[in-house]
Structure 1
Amino acid sequence: MAASIVAYIEAEAYPALHKAGMFEPIDYSLWDQEALEGAPPHTRLKDAVVGLASAIVLAYDQRLFSGPGPQDWADFWDVKTFPGPRGLDTLFGKHAIQFALLAAGVAHKDIWPLTDDKLDRAIAKLNEIKPYITKWWSAGGEAPQLLINREYAVAGAFDGRLIAAIRQGAPIKFVWEGAYVTYTYMTVLKGGLIWGTRKG
């Protein structure tokens, strides 16, 4: 009896591994209709399928704002209208670069490809908010906890962590506007078969 080895591949690593021919092709004709509907066409690649989608979104402590809280990344930079300490992640520099460009007025569709001019503009924008960043978080659970502890007023945070905290009663809200969505792919490694015998 043989079984394939399924590997989870981050979106950033997929292109190089795909080019190197590391994965077996996926035969989507074997999938039933329910499985196909659960994986929209843009998530089904020749040799990989999206297994997990996550996003870094704009979140805030709703206890601090009597009216509507910040609604986009321009509001994240607006420390006069929405005062308080900020938080961003150190996981991938591109997150902060994208958020800075959105705050600077660059349309989402115009962010990529990055150019030297865009990077200079993002760095200048990040320098504006840097004095208000009390902590650059590096673990997914940090941002929601720091919002709960009132150590952040506004922060970028993973959607799943926020939803879990909100379901437990955390006084947090978040918005999808300007979210950075990333995928984790499921693949079958080429030649990755485990042989064994079935008992019984």
Structure 2
Amino acid sequence: MSGVENHYTGAAGERYFAFRSRGFGTAAQQRHAVKFSGYSRPDAVVLDFGCGPGGVLAEIPGREKIGVEINEQSAQLARDRGARVVNSLAAVDDHSVDLCISHHALEHLVRPDEALREMLRVLKPGARAVLVVPAESPRERGKDRFRPDDLHKHLFCWNAQTFGNLATAVGFRVEECTVRAAGESHYLLALRALPAVHRLARGVVAALRDRYEVFCVATAP
């Protein structure tokens, strides 16, 4: 994560952890985990790049869970949930991972292409990566002008075409890359048993809040 460590480690990392911890509750992690439902299996080695507190990994089937996380406070929470946490993909063996996921992490990197190439290296041939990043809108509150004190520190925003182009350029075979509603709320969890209603409700919330994300499924050659 070259070029961004100072924002997520040390004293700055403690401030970032406090800022983000409001989204670390069980309900929030379950909402995020739904996006990766159906892509793993109980005997899989699953890696989460930018795993945060490890709540998404804990919700996904797998015999081994690996988290990549540089924020010390978040990494410890992920370890407490049973994940093996490293601070770099370089610590993961070649072709050792069955599924790589990442949720709203790549937008924080100076070189997201390098992280994607490292994901290709650790994935087994034919294995998948399921990647979710913000599709940001200038109408979203706080995005209309530059603010030096921004705590999110997003460095990139994408649409489905540009993110699919990036994944293809580094060597992935893109199966799906679309913009989806990111209208998440713990009030909607009860609707998961009714997928069509759940999608409609998320779409309404996304439109009201102007929140969307790019969802990409890609395969290692």
TM-score, normalised with respect to structure 2:
0.25
The structure with the greater share of residues assigned to helix is: 2
Q: Which has the larger radius of gyration?
A: 1
Bigger RCO of structures 1 and 2 (CA < 8 A, at least 6 apart): 1
The structure with the greater share of residues assigned to strand is: 1
